[in-house]
Amino acid sequence: MEVKKSIVKSIQKYFLLSFALFLAVSLVSFYLSTRWVFEKQTNNLMKNFEDALSGFLKQKEAELLTYSLTLANPHIQNIYLSLAKEAGTLTNVNESNRPIFEKYGRELRSEYEALVKGTNIAQYSVQFHLPQARSFVRTWLKPGSDVKLDDLAGFRKTIVTAQSSKKPVLGFEAGRFEITFRSVVPILSKDGELLGSVEVAYPVDRMMEDFTQTFKQVDRYVIVFNKEFEKIFDKKFIEEGKVKVLPQGILYGKPKNIDEKTLDKILNAKDESLNIGTQYFFKFQLKDYAGNPMGYIAIGTDQKTIINLFRLSALISTALVVTLLLIIAFTITRQLKGRSQSLITTVKMVDELAKGGGDLTFRFTSHDESEIGLLSAKFNNFLESLANIVKRLIESTKSLFTISGELYKDVSRSTEVVSEFTDKAEYISMSSAEILSAMNDVSTSLEELTKAIREISEKAQLSSQMVKETSQAVFETKELAEKLKEASFEIEDIVNLINNIAESTNLLALNASIEAARAGEAGKGFAVVANEVKELARQTQSATQEIKQKIDFLVQATGNVSNSVEGIVSLIKNVEDAAATIASAVEEQTIVVNSVFEHISSVRDKVMITDEQAQAIKREAEALKELSERLKRQAEAIKEVANQIKELTDQFKV
């Protein structure tokens, strides 16, 4: 039978369809995931921009604080103390003491320049203050114009807070001409008296230039402050275009790489993250020293920058996905090919077994742990079990050949013995007839003796001779009875042998039935034959049991005959004695003759019984002979079944 629809090919077909569908879904999913990843990467990049700017500010905050603390050193403190001693005050500046403040201002400038020489402090704007938030020295101005004694308390809250709290203050703060990130540290005497303060400032526009130089991915930005700072800025500062007052806020400096349309969308947007065309922005909030919002810096980049960052990872991911799919396809195809080969081999083996033959020594060598491997292992177990069954069946067939041969021989011998037994039974029957005839003659003679007692005396010699002949006949009868008894014992032995053979045949049939049941469909025909053999064995046992019972009865009857014959011998001896004494005791002959007549009648009856029993033995012997013939035929049938089993098992290679 050919396979019209291969399971393996169906699996391969559906696998290819599923793989194509999976590939299409994977590509769509990959495209969607890349878009999602792109969005996520963009958001992450914006978050990185925020973290980078925040980290940059913290770094500068620590740097400015360090510089401020460095400038509030004992040398600077001594200058402030000398000024206070000579001017008599640090807070009240007038025309009379202004020269003193200017002198110490120049001295402070010289000390500062010597202190910052060779350091990075000079790149920042440094200003020294007097108490009450009054300006003292602006180091970024030229000498001669750097000592300013103007009051800053009205708008410089960082100075006021630092001097009043006598603690450092850091944060963004607007000045008249710029907005800077400031670090203000109070200058205190050893006694903790406030002498003034020092400020290190970092302009916000310069800060963004430094930041974009460090983080080149940020290639565009705009700085926007709240409109409330318009009143702080100097009008000249506004007129020069350093800042631009807009309805949405104050544009500080010039936007970098941002056009008017993009700027307008940034100014009107409320979200922190913005996507404007191919540009992505993030609004970084600016706060003063107290945490109050002052404005924001919108930092951003173009989509090309993000794509360039994402392209390599996308290409790598695509290559990995395609490679993985190819590996999966190759692996599954190879596995399906192996499964297909295993299934084809299994089908061939089953087909050979279905045709009634096959190599039972073949075994699968699959190391697969899947269902195919399990099927191979189970099929190997099946082949092993089937091979063992066939081997046992072959051995049983050999034993069956041997047993059937022996049974045939035993049955043949049994037939011969039964034939001899039948002949002897016939002989016994004939002897019984002769004895009966002789007894009838004796009875007739005794009747004549009864009628003529006188003649007995005359014919005593003749009677004595006849008694002797009778004695000889009785003796022969006794011998025949003994032979009959011995023949009965021989028959009993033969019956026991037949019974044993029947029991062996029954056991053999039972074993054959068990082996046939193990063989399954192949052993059904053999099971029927085995059941027939078992039934014949049972019938044989039943018949032999009946024969044994009859033989036992025959033995018992023969014993009785023997005993009776002995009695006859004794009686005949008495007759002889009587014949010897006839001459002297004629009167007693009548009694003796009557007694002899009675005994002769009894012997005749027993001889008649013996004849009937001999006829019965003859019939049983004939039945036993017929049974032996049947057993002989069954032995031949068993041998034929054994030949059929051998032909069946010869088809398998074990």
370 half-sphere exposure, CB direction, 13 A CA radius: 8
CA distance 156 to 151: 9
Domain boundary among 264, 285, 308: 308
Long-range contacts of 162-167 (CB under 8 A, 24+ apart): 162/186, 162/197, 163/129, 163/131, 163/132, 163/133, 163/194, 163/196, 163/197, 166/192, 166/194
For 115-142, what is the mean pLDDT? 91
Asked whether the predicted pLDDT for residue 356 surpasses 60, the reply is: no
pLDDT per residue over 462-506, tens digit each? 766 776 776 677 677 777 777 877 877 887 788 788 878 878 888
185 domain residue, yes or no: yes
Question: Are residues 218 and 75 part of one domain?
Answer: yes
Residue 566 belongs to domain with CATH number: 1.10.287.950
pLDDT of 362 reads 64
Q: Domain total for the chain?
A: 2
> Does residue 276 sit in the same domain as residue 392?
no
17-31, 63-77, 164-178: lowest mean pLDDT where? 17-31
Please check the confidence at residue 323 and state whether its pLDDT lies above 70. Answer: yes
Band (pLDDT 50/70/90 cuts) for residue 607 is low
527 and 618 part of one domain: yes
Q: Are residues 420 and 297 in the same domain?
A: no
Residue 143 has pLDDT above 70, yes or no: yes
Clarify whether residues 199 and 283 are in a common domain: yes
Q: What is the pLDDT of residue 507?
A: 85
Find the CATH number of the domain harbouring 296. Answer: 3.30.450.20
Asked whether residue 259 is domain-assigned, the answer is: yes
Residues 73 and 203 in one domain: yes
Q: Is residue 284 part of a domain?
A: yes
Confidence of residue 545 (pLDDT cuts 50, 70, 90): confident
Task: Using the predicted structure, report yes or no on whether residue 299 has a pLDDT greater than 70.
Answer: yes
Give the confidence band of 523 by pLDDT, cuts at 50, 70, 90.
confident
Contact partners, residue 209, CB within 8 Å, separation at least 6: none
Task: Name the residue among 291, 280, 221 with its Cα closest to residue 253.
Answer: 221
Range(s) of the domain holding residue 197: 22-308
What is the per-residue pLDDT for 354?
A: 55
Reference 494, options 630, 633, 628; nearest CA is: 628
303 and 391 co-located in one domain: no
Residue 363 forms part of a structural domain: no
Cα 221 to its chain centre, rounded Å, is: 62
Burial of 330 (0-12, 13-18, 19+ CB in 10 A): exposed
Helix, strand, coil: what percent of the chain each, to 5? 70, 15, 15
With respect to residue 77, please indicate whether it lies within any of the assigned structural domains: yes
Question: Do residues 281 and 397 both lie within one domain?
Answer: no
The position carrying tokens 């087909």 is 351
Tell me, yes or no, whether 372 lies in a domain: no
Confidence of residue 380 (pLDDT cuts 50, 70, 90): confident
Are 150 and 216 contacting, i.e. CB atoms less than 8 angstroms apart?
A: no
Lowest mean pLDDT among 279-288, 520-529, 541-550: 520-529
What pLDDT does 435 receive?
A: 67
Cβ atoms within 10 Å of 218's Cβ, excluding its own: 23
Between 3 and 426, where is the model more confident?
426
pLDDT-derived band of residue 332, with 50, 70 and 90 as boundaries? low
Please tell me whether residues 304 and 390 are part of one structural domain: no
Q: Tell me, what amino acid is at 439?
A: M
Query: Quick check: is 190 in a domain?
Result: yes
Residue 28 pLDDT class (50, 70, 90 cuts): low
What is the C-alpha to C-alpha distance for residues 435 and 433, in angstroms, rounded to an integer?
A: 5
Q: Give tens-digit pLDDT for 273-292.
A: 888 888 889 999 999 999 99
Contact of 139 with 127, CB cutoff 8 Å: yes
Q: For residue 367, give both structure tokens.
A: 């190391």
Residue 498 amino acid letter: I
Query: Between residues 33 and 248, which one has the greater pLDDT?
Result: 248
Q: What is the pLDDT of residue 647?
A: 73
CB 388 within 8 A of CB 515: no
Domain check: are 126 and 264 in the same one?
yes
> Is 520 within a domain?
yes
pLDDT greater than 60 at residue 59: yes
Using the predicted structure, report yes or no on whether residue 591 has a pLDDT greater than 60: yes
Domain boundary pick from 267, 285, 308: 308
Can you tell me the mean pLDDT for 390-413?
73
Choose one of 256, 291, 308: the last residue of a domain: 308
Q: What is the mean pLDDT of residues 184-208?
A: 94
Radius of gyration for the chain, computed over Cα atoms and rounded to the nearest angstrom:
70
Residues 511 and 391 in one domain: yes
pLDDT band at 365 (very low <50, low <70, confident <90, very high): low
Mean pLDDT of the chain: 78
The answer to whether residue 225 scores a pLDDT higher than 90 is yes
